[in-house]
Amino acid sequence: MKYKQLGQTEIQIPVITFGGWAIGGWYWGGTDEELAIKAIHKAIDLGMNCIDTAPVYGFGLGEEIVGKAIKGRRHEVIIATKCGLRWDKDEGEFFFDTYFNGKRYYVYKNARKNSIIEECERSLKRLNTDYIDIYQIHWPDKTTPIDESLEALTRLQEQGKIRAFGVSNFDVNLLKETLKYSRVESNQVKYSLVDRWIESELVPLCVENKISILAYSPLEQGLLTGKITMETEFKSGDLRKKQFWFQPENRKKILDALEKIKPIAREKNATLAQIVINWTFSQPGITTAIVGARNPEQVEENVGAVNLKLTEEEIQKIREAFTWDS
């Protein structure tokens, strides 16, 4: 495994991070807890020792599964979790409502100082640990001044409850505003071959300020693995089918682009997923690609991406395959 420095901290994180959204079950049509724990163990064994999760992943369940999986191995892992999305109180900015396990949830963006401090205590309990390595504001909250949120994060760091803090889903303007008040070590944002919006302004700003970019959904929720075809049907509770890229005409676009990069995969004796993951963490400014896995086999495939060597020409070919006239 290869590692990179998180921001300006002493924390070294692997170029592929274990993404814990899917194992929470919500949005992905349920979870198998036993398999999820085995997947995390396999990830740690293979050096993919950074685990990214959040309270909203399964409404507490995702963090609880991580907590069980790291029991006795806490010293081996870097835990990244988040704050700022609440479903237990209607305070802040309404975000969305959803069903999970027969229950309706109303989720609010809430990055108020007291709320963040309360959330941190709950996450520590669910994760069965007394500190969090990387703590991030999950989504911007328009109802709370950013300096108030940062005050809470600074206090938690001073208390030793978090080692480093960052943000997630912050655009250029909001990140600039944030930096007026405090340093942040990371910005976790969506980035994939079909969603490269961060490249023009956000990446240069992060590079200049030594802020790590943690790229989520690099496989576009499974679409860029090539395993989802035009015939794939999603089971009840799997909300991916409603997403933009999963619509038939867009799905076809992606499958056609994947065909163009199959020769590279064949030549490298690699899967399409491995090619895409490697392409992602090889891009300027990207510290790690956060890739979900539900079982040990998927973890092994993901980790295999580290050993690939893509040439500059191949990297460019891959980019061009996913560049469309809009």
**The pLDDT value given to residue 326:** 52
**Is 126 within a domain?**
yes
Task: Calculate mean pLDDT across residues 204-230.
Answer: 95
**Is 306 within a domain?**
yes
Count of domains in the chain? 1
**Is 250 within a domain?**
no
Determine the structural domain holding residue 293 and report its residue range: 3-225+272-310
Q: Is the pLDDT of residue 47 over 90?
A: yes
- Please, what is the average pLDDT of the chain? 95
| 135: annotated active-site residue | no
**The pLDDT value given to residue 26:** 84
Residue range 296-321, pLDDT digits in tens: 999 999 999 999 999 999 999 999 99
**Is 112 within a domain?**
yes
**Is 295 within a domain?**
yes
Q: Which residue has the higher pLDDT, 177 or 238?
A: 177
Residues in the chain: 326
Confidence of residue 76 (pLDDT cuts 50, 70, 90): very high
Residue tagged active-site, from 3, 27, 57, 216: 57
Q: Which residue has the higher pLDDT, 234 or 265?
A: 265
What counts of helices (H) and strands (E) characterise the chain?
A: 10, 13
Task: Calculate mean pLDDT across residues 217-233.
Answer: 91
Q: Is the pLDDT of residue 277 over 70?
A: yes
Measured CA to CA in angstroms, residue 243 lies from 55, 248, 250, 275 at distances of: 22, 11, 10, 23
**The pLDDT value given to residue 165:** 98
CA 276, CA 2: separation in Å to the nearest integer? 17
**Is 316 within a domain?**
no
- Concatenating the DSSP letter of every residue in 123-176 gives HHHHHT-S-EEEEEE-S--TTS-HHHHHHHHHHHHHTTSEEEEEEES--HHHHH
**The pLDDT value given to residue 8:** 98
Task: Calculate mean pLDDT across residues 272-297.
Answer: 97
Q: Is the pLDDT of residue 152 over 60?
A: yes
Q: Tokens at residue 15, please?
A: 């170029």
Q: What are phi and psi of 122, to 5 degrees?
A: -65, -40
Q: Tokens at residue 130, please?
A: 């007394």
CA 173, CA 130: separation in Å to the nearest integer? 34
Residue with tokens 């398999």: 35
**Is 127 within a domain?**
yes
**The pLDDT value given to residue 62:** 96
Q: Which of 133-147, 238-252, 301-315 is predicted with the least confidence, judged by mean pLDDT?
A: 238-252
CATH number of the domain bearing residue 56: 3.20.20.100
Measured CA to CA in angstroms, residue 212 lies from 115, 173, 280, 310 at distances of: 25, 17, 14, 22
Residues whose CB is less than 8 angstroms from the CB of residue 306 and which lie 6 or more positions away in sequence, other chains included:
1, 2, 15, 16, 278
**The pLDDT value given to residue 225:** 94
Beta bridge partners of 132: 162
CA 299, CA 310: separation in Å to the nearest integer? 21
